[in-house]
Amino acid sequence: MSKAKVIDGKQIAKDVRASLNPRIDALKAKGVTPGLAVVLVGDDPASHVYVKMKGKAFKKLGLVSETLRIPGNISQDELIKLIHELNQDDKFHGILVQLPLPDHLDEQIILDHIDNDKDADGLLPASMGKMVLGMEGPLPCTPHGILMLLKHSGIETSGKHAVVIGRSNIVGKPIANLLLQKRELGNCTVTLCHSRTKNLQEVCQQADILIAAIGKPEFVDRDFVKKGAVIIDVGVNRVDAPEKKKGYKLVGDVNYSDVEEVASAITPVPGGVGPMTITMLIYNTVYLAEKSLEN
């Protein structure tokens, strides 16, 4: 039995970044270097690793990326004051507040103070509203990255049935919305599933494109998958692996070895959706820098 084509997120991320070089050069010729400010509060280990990766990716393209490391006990008012200062700083075209924040801080209130013109994550209410209406604006990074994976893999979306498992504001709801829109990489019939969906396996078996974003290790096996379906695995879960030097390994929401014999194409974990999220953050920062010249 032939195995699924592997959708190589690392290579596609490189290709998308390379395609940004002419736009970056054009901006620099006008005296503008796209810049991102990352606000990192507290000492969440995963956040520190992720932010370090972001910084390296920006530096490699000759872009500005500055991480502001803030003590975990900062007050909400102090953090809001800092964001207002970043809003006024022309060096930064995008602002990213790394989540999760410590429990005493209200994430939505904090994010609402970021200037809409500096929404690097594409997740502020104004950006999400534009996305839903099909208007131009920065798109949420992970959903946008998924679209790029489909595009660069030559996967047709028009007329296909896409099933999304997970209804988060970061992945599930926006990717469902983008896939149903009348646009390139859209025109799908979309079913959005979640923890209350009945007969989940049966619904997923109807999918031409199945997107798993639920945070449950290897939850989706071959019983969820129609033969020939395209599988996009957004999950990154740390599971115990005593045989590994670190004592753990990363797995997706999909049981890769089980599903790869049924699917036509599949994203690995790691190396699938993950590299695209940082790439689309760069994409958004370049886009916001271009927009800053129009204002």
Per the annotation, the verdict on 54 as an active-site residue is yes
Catalytic site residue from 8, 54, 118, 208: 54
Exactly one of 8, 98, 160, 233 is catalytic; name it.
Answer: 98
Tell me, yes or no, if 208 is annotated catalytic.
Answer: no
Structure tokens at 26: 């054009």
Q: Whose structure tokens read 């949420």?
A: 140
Contact 194, 167 (CB under 8 A): yes
* CA separation for the pair 42, 69 (Å, rounded): 8
C-alpha 8/C-alpha 279 separation (Å) is 14
Angle of helix 9-29 relative to helix 273-292, nearest 10 degrees? Answer: 10
CA angle 200, 206, 210 (to 5 degrees): 75
| Residue 108 known to be catalytic | no
The terminus-to-terminus CA distance of the chain in angstroms comes to 56
Catalytic residue among 8, 121, 208, 233: 121
Contact criterion met (CB below 8 Å) for 123 and 172: no
The residues that are catalytic are 54, 98, 121
